[in-house]
Amino acid sequence: MQEMQALKINSYLSSGEISTLLENVDYILMASPSMMVDEYPIHFSIILNTAEMVPEEVKPLILEKFCRELGITATSHVLSNRERIAFALTTQETPMPKHIIDDAEANTIPWTLLHIIDFLGDSEGFKEAKDGLSGWSYSYNN
């Protein structure tokens, strides 16, 4: 696997820019290489455009739906919760979602609370992530 360079973050969207960005977004899908390459080669993050609490009994159904539609198999280490998400401007066309875990970082950049489903898995449809690349795509409602 060739060594990839990390994306340089130029700045972050402001709270108002985040609201505007998310106006017609259903969800954001991110895929990146996993540290558990043999068993679960891809780290997936599905960011739902909602800050609402998702009932516990519905969380596995949402994950199953995405896995079925995207051909994701062998899921493990699932986190499904409302979390702080910032949006970084890079050289890429769309802002990169960033899960903010560190409280100190959360105090320095704008973020919004969204529901994230974060897990490890595998899929034949995400060859780039298996090859060492990270990426994200926005799914818009009509």
Q: What is the pLDDT of residues 29-63, one digit of tens each?
A: 999 999 887 889 999 999 999 999 999 999 999 99
Whether the CA torsion 39, 46, 125, 132 is positive or negative: it is negative
Give the tens place of pLDDT for each residue, 85-137: 999 999 999 999 999 999 999 999 999 999 999 999 999 999 999 998 999 99
- Count CB neighbours of 16 within 10 A: 9
Nearest-angstrom CA–CA distance, 45 and 59: 14
Confidence label for 140 from pLDDT (cuts 50, 70 and 90): very high
Give yes or no for a contact between 140 and 25, defined as CB atoms under 8 angstroms apart.
yes
Question: Which secondary structure element, helix H or strand E, spans residue 121, and what is its range?
Answer: strand 112-123
pLDDT higher than threshold 60 for residue 1: no
Nearest-angstrom CA–CA distance, 41 and 51: 29
Which residue bears the tokens 């960033």? 98
State both tokens at 141. 């409602």
